[in-house]
Amino acid sequence: MISYVRAENIKLTFRPKNRDPVTALDGFTFEAWRGEFLSLVGPSGCGKSTFLNVLLGLIKPDSGMLELDGQKITGPGLERAMVFQEFGLLPWRTVLANVELGLELKGIPASARRERSSELINLVGLTKFENHYPHELSGGMKQRVGLARALATDPDVLLMDEPFAALDAQTRDIMQMELLQIWDRTKKTVLFVTHSIEEAAYLSDRVIVMTARPGKTKSVIKIDLPRPRDYEMRLTSKFNGIKLKIWNALKEELVYRENLRES
């Protein structure tokens, strides 16, 4: 298979004022196939969210190569869109206007913008709330808006930075199921960052486990579960076996981090 999103030897060091520099990523290499659901799991601070921001084009790496479909990534672009952990909705805009944001910046005329946004709002089940403001919505609804907004510009790659971490457990389960349905319908390539082994195992085709900071790929685990997936699958021993595999890869990194803290 030919890789679709490719990162090679990414190095990125943050140099905050008056503090020691922190190397977030060092020699990070990664590839994703077209249409794949790929998750990144790793200890906190391993640079997985940072990597998404690099892919999004908001942060420039010090060195390394980034490619999407054979094209070098140099900055933000409409073939990539992010769903943010803290939603990132503009509070002064209605649901509809928030979903329109990307289209507006792309220069799409108002009527086409509206039509396309309504379509996506319908896709995430918020039609009745088109004219509501974000502060009138629950967390789950806000993230639906975030998802609709990211899909509105019809990107090829959807970047999701712990999108459900701020939600309660039940909302989270529902959002995961809906995300899978939407993914199935839209055939996007999804790069999904999460802390949750369960979430990664349930959603993904492959899971990349990252090392502690500076982050690089520790192991790649293929999730051999049939699709469409359902909640019951999460209760099988096969699923638990997969979780154990991810955990085993991750645990050394967590232990390593704990030791660091004590020394």
Partner 1 sequence: MVKLNEVYQSYQRFVLGTASVIGFILLWQLLLTYIIPFNSFFITKPSLIAVAAKDLVSSGKLWHDLAVSSKAFVWGFTAAVLIGIPFGLVMGWRRRVEYALDPFLTALYASPLVALAPLLIVVFGVGLTGKAVLVFLLAVFPFIFNVFAGVKSTELLLINVVRSFGGKEKDLYFKVILPSTLPYIVAGARIAIGRGIVGIIVGEFYAASEGIGYSIALYGDTYRLPEMFVGIMLLMILAVLLTSGMRKLELTLAPWKVGQEGR
Chain positions contacting partner 1, by CB under 8 A? 53, 56-58, 76-78, 80-82, 84, 86, 88, 90-92, 101-102, 104-106, 133-136, 153
SS3 state at 197: helix
By beta-carbon proximity to partner 1, the closer residue of 53 and 240 is 53
CB proximity list for 209: less than 8 A, separation 6 or greater: 41, 42, 217, 218, 219, 220, 221, 246, 249, 250, 253
Tokens representing 120 are 């996506």
Rounded to a whole number of angstroms, the minimum distance from the CB of residue 84 to partner 1 is: 6
Q: How far is the CB of 238 from partner 1 (least distance, A)?
A: 37
Q: Which of 3, 1, 53 lies closest to 24 in space, CA to CA?
A: 53
- Name the strand (E) or helix (H) holding 252: helix 237-262
The CA-to-CA distance between both ends of the chain, in Å, stands at 44
Closer by beta carbon to partner 1, 92 or else 263: 92
In the chain, what's the furthest Cα-to-Cα distance? 61
**Smallest gap from residue 76 Cβ to partner 1 (A):** 5
Q: Which is nearer to partner 1, 105 or 244 (CB)?
A: 105
Q: Closer to partner 1 at the Cβ: 58 or 65?
A: 58
The least CB distance from residue 52 to partner 1, in Å, is 10
Distance, in Å, from the CA atom of 262 to the CA atom of 259, rounded to the nearest integer, reads: 5
The least CB distance from residue 249 to partner 1, in Å, is 30
Q: Which is nearer to partner 1, 100 or 253 (CB)?
A: 100
- Name the nearest CA neighbour of 46 among 259, 262, 263, 256: 256
CB 13, CB 20: distance < 8 Å: no
Q: Which is nearer to partner 1, 89 or 221 (CB)?
A: 89
Shorter beta-carbon distance to partner 1: residue 105 or 260: 105
Minimum CB separation of residue 112 from partner 1 in Å reads 16
From the list 226, 232, 177, the residue with the least C-alpha distance to 199 is 177
CB of 81 to partner 1, least distance (A): 7
Tokens encoding 127: 């039609």
Q: How far is CA 217 from CA 9, 30, 211, in A?
A: 11, 7, 6
DSSP code of residue 216: -
CB of 261 to partner 1, least distance (A): 28
Contact in structure between 178 and 146 (CB atoms under 8 Å):
no
Nearer to partner 1 by Cβ, of 136 and 184: the residue is 136
